[in-house]
Homo-oligomer: A and B are copies of this chain.
Amino acid sequence: MKKAEPTKVAVLGASGYTGEELVRLLLRHPHAELVAVTSRQYVGKTLAEIFPRAASYSVAQTLEFSEATPEKIAGQAEIAFLALPHGVAVEFAGPLLQAGARVIDLSADFRIKNAATYREFYGNEHAAAELLRDAVYGLPEIYRDEISQARLVACPGCYPTSILLPLIPLLREKLIEPGSIIADSLSGVSGAGRKAELDYLFVECNESVRPYGVPKHRHLGEIEQELSIAGGSAITIQFTPHLVPVNRGILTTLYVTPTGAAQRIEAALHEAYATAPFVRLLGDKSLPDTKNVAGTNVIEIAWRHDPRTSRLIVMSAEDNLVKGASGQAIQCFNLMCGHAETAGLL
């Protein structure tokens, strides 16, 4: 069902790292035509002026940032990507949907299905709780069909993607103890966004390794929601994020107690991702490395059984800006438009 015409798309709030990555991926996408980008701070500037790397694409020389209304955007674009901050995206989604656009939201605003859970993790009432029911969690390997039909896709956070893809097949098959899950994650600094804060200055991050957000990071809300769905009961996990001095990449090490045999665990992962173009199962042959996935939409997954402790260690590596954000959004876009899942992503 590949369409002859490229799909017209808009990116709202394209001034941060995920916005820039989204623009870059859309400019080289064979089936997308970028018709609008918005950013309050860059109104009137061309894409090429703000993102020098985009300057090689002719459309970047002419397309200017605007402050277009949702209605105007919906008149131009079939699909609107929201690269807006949490709490801002929620204001745009409703009007865009009402005006006829389909929405792919990269913020956290529509990831949590339960308004009370949203309040627990984000500290305020959800501003458009009526839309939560329709939002589809944008993890293509898990919700391929739902995403295809969705009008509102809530793309997962970067940490959740690195934790959910390794664990969901194991929970679905009841191969691990749900209460045993410990996720230890290391993130590159682009995960903090393009924010002028002292904590993310070069000198503060270079030659620094540090945990943060211990013990209750906001991403736990969506992680536990999706793990609980997979496991069939409420799951609470341990999660510790760390900041490490790389631009891009998340490396997650998961510690779980297996209840099934090693072969069944291996089989569950291979079956789950047999046809997934972006999941690279390393098994016990090698170990993941963020440098092998940086700039790509691939997630690497490896696992080891420790006979000394009877634990299973599962490790994953992804690019937080691609598979953890903008690449995954494009993957959703491809499913929504009937393009090949890998279009524009190889």
A287→B253 contact, CB < 8 A:
no
Residues on B with C-beta less than 8 A from A287 are 210-212, 214
- With an 8 Å Cβ cutoff, the count of chain A residues facing the other chain is 74
Question: Is A311 close to B, CB under 8 A?
Answer: yes
**Among residues 105 to 135 in chain A, which have CB atoms less than 8 Å away from a CB atom of chain B?**
none
A291→B246 contact, CB < 8 A:
no
B289→A208 contact, CB < 8 A:
yes
Residues on B with C-beta less than 8 A from A68 are none
Of B52, B198, B205, B240, the residue contacting A286 (CB under 8 A) is B52
Question: Is A196 close to B, CB under 8 A?
Answer: yes
Looking across the interface, which residue of chain B has its beta carbon closest to that of A190?
Answer: B203
Given contacts A214-B304, A238-B309, A244-B186, contact A249 B56 (CB under 8 A): no
Q: Mark A193-227, 1 if CB is under 8 A from B, else 0.
A: 01111101111111111111011100000000000
Looking across the interface, which residue of chain B has its beta carbon closest to that of A306?
Answer: B215
Question: Is A17 close to B, CB under 8 A?
Answer: yes
Minimum CB–CB distance for A172 against chain B, Å: 22
Question: Is A247 close to B, CB under 8 A?
Answer: yes
Residues on B with C-beta less than 8 A from A206 are 189, 202, 206, 245-247
Looking across the interface, which residue of chain B has its beta carbon closest to that of A196?
Answer: B196
Question: Is A290 close to B, CB under 8 A?
Answer: yes
Copies in the complex: 4
Question: Is A315 close to B, CB under 8 A?
Answer: yes
B207→A247 contact, CB < 8 A:
yes
**Among residues 316 to 346 in chain A, which have CB atoms less than 8 Å away from a CB atom of chain B?**
317, 346
Question: Is A255 close to B, CB under 8 A?
Answer: yes
Of B52, B202, B251, B253, the residue contacting A189 (CB under 8 A) is B202
A245→B296 contact, CB < 8 A:
no
Minimum CB–CB distance for A290 against chain B, Å: 5
Given contacts A194-B201, A211-B288, A286-B52, contact A346 B189 (CB under 8 A): no
A253→B184 contact, CB < 8 A:
yes
B315→A211 contact, CB < 8 A:
yes
A25 to B286, CA, bound (A): 24
Of B196, B237, B346, the residue contacting A197 (CB under 8 A) is B196
A127 to B111, CA, bound (A): 57
Looking across the interface, which residue of chain B has its beta carbon closest to that of A303?
Answer: B214
Question: Is A248 close to B, CB under 8 A?
Answer: yes
Q: Mark A264-275, 1 if CB is under 8 A from B, else 0.
A: 000000000000
A290→B215 contact, CB < 8 A:
no
Question: Is A53 close to B, CB under 8 A?
Answer: yes
Given contacts A194-B198, A215-B313, contact A251 B207 (CB under 8 A): no
A189 to B280, CA, bound (A): 26
Question: Is A55 close to B, CB under 8 A?
Answer: yes
A198→B201 contact, CB < 8 A:
no
A56→B247 contact, CB < 8 A:
no
Question: Is A308 close to B, CB under 8 A?
Answer: yes
Which 3 pairs from chain A and chain B are nearest by CB? A215-B306, A208-B291, A202-B205
Having A28-B346, A238-B255, one finds 6 other A-B pairs with CB under 8 Å, namely A194-B201, A195-B201, A204-B291, A207-B247, A209-B317, A215-B305
